[in-house]
A and B are shown apart, each in its own frame.
Chain A
Amino acid sequence: MHVFTDPDNFDAYVSGFLWILKLTGASAVCALVIGVLLAAMRVSPVPVLRGFGAAWVNVFRNTPLTLVIFFCYFGLFATLGLSLSQDLDLNIYWLGVIGLSVYTAAFVCEAVRSGINTVPTGQAEAARAIGLSFAQTLRIVVLPQAARSVIAPLGSILIALCKNATIVGTIGLLESSNIMKDLINSNGDAVIPIFLVFAGTFAALLIPTGYFFGWLANRLAVKR
Chain B
Amino acid sequence: MRMKRMAAVAAVAGLAVAMTACGGDSDEGNSGTGAGGIVGKAEGQKKLVIGVKADQPGLGLQTGSQYEGFDVEIAKIIAKGLGVEESGIEWKTTVSANREPFIEQGTVDLVVATYTINDERKQKINFAGPYYVAGQDLLVKSDSTLTGPDQLAGKTVCSVTGSTPAKRIQENYPDARLQQFDAYSKCLPLLENGQVDAVTTDDIILAGYAAQDQYAGKFKVVGSTFSDEPYGIGLKKDDTDGCEKVNEILKTAAEDGSYKAAWDATLGKSGTPAPELDTTKLTHCGAA
Residues A172 and B101 in contact in the complex (CB < 8 Å), given A77-B195, A189-B124 = no
Residues of B within 8 A of A77 (CB): 195
B100, CB-defined interface residue at 8 Å: yes
Residues 163-190 of A contacting B (Cβ, < 8 Å)? 170-172, 174, 178, 181-182, 184-186, 188-189
Q: Are A192 and B104 touching (Cβ within 8 A)?
A: no
Of B43-51, B128-136, B175-183, B200-208, the one contacting chain A is B175-183
In whole angstroms, how far apart are the Cα atoms of A79 and B194 in the complex?
10
Residues A182 and B181 in contact in the complex (CB < 8 Å), given A78-B193, A191-B21 = no
Q: Are A185 and B100 touching (Cβ within 8 A)?
A: yes
Bits for A62-88, please: 1 = Cβ < 8 Å to B, else 0. Answer: 000000000000100111010000001
Task: Report whether over half of chain B's contact residues are helix, strand or loop; otherwise say mixed.
Answer: helix
Q: Are A192 and B13 touching (Cβ within 8 A)?
A: yes
Residues A178 and B161 in contact in the complex (CB < 8 Å), given A88-B179, A185-B97 = yes
Residues A192 and B162 in contact in the complex (CB < 8 Å), given A88-B156, A185-B101 = no
Cβ distance A109 to chain B, nearest Cβ, rounded Å: 31
Residues A181 and B189 in contact in the complex (CB < 8 Å), given A88-B156, A192-B13 = no
Residues of B within 8 A of A181 (CB): 97-98, 161-162
Residues of B within 8 A of A56 (CB): none
Q: Are A191 and B105 touching (Cβ within 8 A)?
A: yes
Q: Are B182 and A170 touching (Cβ within 8 A)?
A: yes
Residues 182-216 of B contacting A (Cβ, < 8 Å)? 182, 186, 189-190, 193, 195
Cβ distance A95 to chain B, nearest Cβ, rounded Å: 12
In whole angstroms, how far apart are the Cα atoms of A186 and B96 in the complex?
11
Q: Are A78 and B189 touching (Cβ within 8 A)?
A: yes
Q: Are A88 and B177 touching (Cβ within 8 A)?
A: yes
In whole angstroms, how far apart are the Cα atoms of A196 and B180 in the complex?
25
Residues A192 and B179 in contact in the complex (CB < 8 Å), given A77-B195, A178-B161, A185-B100 = no
Residues of A within 8 A of B14 (CB): 192
Cβ distance A168 to chain B, nearest Cβ, rounded Å: 12
Q: Are A188 and B179 touching (Cβ within 8 A)?
A: no
- The residue in chain B whose Cβ has the minimal distance to the Cβ of A189 is B104
A202, CB-defined interface residue at 8 Å: no
Q: Are B193 and A79 touching (Cβ within 8 A)?
A: yes
Q: Are B17 and A192 touching (Cβ within 8 A)?
A: yes
B20, CB-defined interface residue at 8 Å: yes
Q: Are B101 and A191 touching (Cβ within 8 A)?
A: yes
Residues of B within 8 A of A74 (CB): 189
Of the residues A88, A188, A195, contact of B104 by C-beta under 8 Å = A188
Of the residues B162, B180, B182, B190, contact of A78 by C-beta under 8 Å = B190
Residues of B within 8 A of A189 (CB): 104, 124
Cβ distance B61 to chain A, nearest Cβ, rounded Å: 21
Cβ distance A194 to chain B, nearest Cβ, rounded Å: 9
Residues of A within 8 A of B179 (CB): 88, 172
Residues of A within 8 A of B181 (CB): 171-172
In whole angstroms, how far apart are the Cα atoms of A184 and B16 in the complex?
15
Residues of A within 8 A of B190 (CB): 78
Bits for A1-18, please: 1 = Cβ < 8 Å to B, else 0. Answer: 000000000000000000
Cβ distance A99 to chain B, nearest Cβ, rounded Å: 16
Q: Are A78 and B195 touching (Cβ within 8 A)?
A: yes
Cβ distance A9 to chain B, nearest Cβ, rounded Å: 13
Most buried by B among A185, A189, A191, A196: A185
Can you show 17 pairs from A to B with CB atoms below 8 A apart?
Answer: A77-B195, A78-B189, A78-B193, A81-B193, A88-B178, A88-B179, A174-B180, A178-B180, A181-B97, A181-B161, A182-B97, A184-B97, A185-B98, A185-B162, A191-B101, A192-B14, A195-B13
Question: What are the 6 tightest A-B residue pairs by CB atom distance, in nearest-first order?
Answer: A188-B104, A188-B100, A185-B97, A188-B101, A185-B162, A195-B17
Task: List 14 additional A-B contacts (Cβ < 8 Å) besides A79-B193, A172-B180, A196-B13.
Answer: A78-B195, A88-B156, A172-B179, A172-B186, A174-B161, A181-B97, A184-B98, A185-B162, A186-B100, A188-B103, A191-B104, A192-B14, A195-B13, A195-B20
